[in-house]
Structure 1
């Protein structure tokens, strides 16, 4: 479905942020992209969504294809229209609008019936949003705002949903709920590219993963296999409990797959 082939990206024509990055998201799959701050994860998303120039960056080599279409000459709006939708880091909901209004904005490109059906699907996935449909977004908790951000993206009817750090700043029990939602969305047929620092959560949700270090893919494979590698154990999951040293990604303190189960 999504293919990045030997993609290199520079900022300001000087700083190279990505060095020949290749990754694939097969149709119907959930794939994780792991890496520390500054590894290049967000730049990967910008390269896919055609959002590089706004940040002073450009693709200098390689190709990005979605459903067999080269995205090189595709605008950001066309990318979304083709079914490639991103939930940005930091949620970025419309705080002064209600939950219902945020969802309606997300479904503006769709017909009335399709948008109404999508909205009911979102409320089915997020019952808490249904309870708060008339409440302003800025009055929601952090977890509820993340749910709304994902729900608004789902209103566009994505074939591939790209999630940028959905667990960032959330309490562990809420992270568990977000993980369960990602599993549900994927199980219902939407492909997912999950960008995360929380490796334990990401590997528990995704079927496969890539590890990005300093703009290069250093590891890739099935999630279960990566969990057993020494690099992932020591740097990303924590070998003997507690947080690992600065510069590593891990937040988890156990090697056991994290179920993410918690009260709704």
Structure 2
């Protein structure tokens, strides 16, 4: 049986999601931030005959994330997505072995597969912090962050980037640390989907004129150190082997693959 979840299901849902807190950080973060009654968010659950939760599907605006540790009703979830989607091409993401089950069932966007990793130790991060003055951004710095990202050729800075940064800071579900030189922001890294258990590190970038100085590594190390001190598991995606080697030196370890259809 699949049905929409409410606040009455919260305890059972979170016990279920905590089986895999890193891969479920987006679902956990969205529910902790926006609950079950927001008009832009829906949460559905599939239950077995004994009433145990076996799969979850979340809609956040026009994007969907699913999670199931075993077999689940992909046809049923696909029907729900088809009934609620407001776009012709479906945006969907999740653990690769789960997300790929929607291929052929929905008109999905272009697939991108990324390595998913987490960091359980600050042993290596502690060696990196302290070399530079790293600052935490506030609302007054949002335009500077967007401007830095737009100077990075590899970055696809969406029109909604500014609003998302503001919302993240206002809800304490995101933060950005940065380094500046002569009053100019030259490197930064952010979190997103911060929740009580984990956080995703995103937007790691350095101005092309200031690369090779260790700025980005130091900022990520500072994020790792602070997040772990707060009891939150730092996670991140990468698909560039060079970036992967840098993250591995900071203590990150690959735990699987993440698929995104956009």
Q: TM-score over 0.5 for the alignment? A: no
Q: Which structure is higher in strand share?
A: 2
TM normalised by structure 2 equals 0.31
Structure whose CA Rg is larger? 2
